[in-house]
């Protein structure tokens, strides 16, 4: 009889602070209904939320915080459908 060997999955590396902050921000966006808010309310919400994230994730640089905000703002933009060429169907 042969000996069965078990393979262990490699240990997953913990997510970076940027990844955790991004995931938390997206979660907040979905829970708070920011996507349906007016643009001026979205701006106020992002101002407050980015301050919260900066306090919570102190190791993030200003550039990373800017990238997070940009990702969040893009996520909240309405979907822009491509115009189908005339005669396709």
Q: Count of CB atoms within 10 A of residue 81's CB? A: 6
Q: At a CB cut-off of 8 Å and minimum separation 6, what does 34 contact?
A: 28, 41, 42, 45, 46, 76
34-89 confidence digits (pLDDT tens) = 998 899 999 999 999 999 999 999 999 999 999 999 999 999 987 777 777 766 55
Domain ranges of the chain: 38-75
Q: How confident is the model at residue 3 (pLDDT cuts 50, 70, 90)?
A: low
Q: How far apart are CA 38 and CA 47, in angstroms?
A: 14
């Amino acid at each position: 009889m042969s000996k069965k060997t078990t393979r262990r999955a490699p240990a997953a590396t913990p997510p970076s602070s940027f990844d955790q902050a991004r995931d938390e921000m997206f979660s907040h966006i979905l829970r708070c209904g920011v996507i349906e808010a007016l643009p001026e309310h979205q701006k106020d919400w992002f101002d407050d939320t980015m301050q919260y994230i900066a306090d919570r994730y102190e190791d993030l640089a200003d550039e990373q915080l800017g990238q997070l905000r940009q990702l969040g703002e893009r996520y909240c933009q309405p979907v822009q459908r491509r115009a189908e060429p005339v005669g396709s169907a």
